[in-house]
Amino acid sequence: MTTARDIMTPDVACIGEDESLARAAQQMADLHVGSMPICGNDRRIKGMITDRDIVVKVIAGGRDPAGVSAGELAEGKPVTIGADDDTDAILHTMAQHKVRRLPVIDGLDLVGMVALADVARALPDDRVGELFSAISTP
């Protein structure tokens, strides 16, 4: 049985909930990623931030990203997957929530990230195609 731990990218960086969105944008640029988990001081996930969130919710609204904390954009309960959850659970969770990236937790601790690309490398094309179709439809 293939698990999230088997296909995830380990050692994922997160942005602190008290850090500015300007810092989040710089960290995303440095890491060549378009999204990051928002973590509390306990390194537990508080939400996710995307480059699009910064542009649409902050810059387009006339706010200065240096004056907005990442935690201000954390909304609702973050969607995660357990490190020992199997690929069926990953596919179901991604499809149900229409997300392309899932933070992987072990207990309450962030241990990695599973992206659509990780799923595509690990699973047969037909299953990946079904997932892509499910997350791409409104």
Domain boundaries, the chain: 4-136
Q: What DSSP designation does 102 have?
A: E
**SS3 label, residue 112:** strand
**Local confidence band at 11 (pLDDT 50, 70, 90 cut-offs):** confident
Taking only Cα atoms into account, the Rg of the chain, rounded to an integer number of angstroms, comes to 15
User: 45: which 2 tokens?
Assistant: 């996930």
**CA separation for the pair 23, 133 (Å, rounded):** 34
Written out in words, the top-level CATH class of the domain with range 4-136 is alpha beta
Q: What percent of the chain has pLDDT over 90?
A: 61
- Per-residue confidence band for 120, with pLDDT thresholds at 50, 70 and 90: confident
Backbone angles phi, psi at 25, to 5 degrees: -60, -45
Q: In this predicted model, what pLDDT tens digit does every residue of 33-79 receive, in sequence order?
A: 999 999 998 868 999 999 999 999 999 999 999 999 999 988 778 89
Tell me the whole-structure pTM to 2 decimals. Answer: 0.84
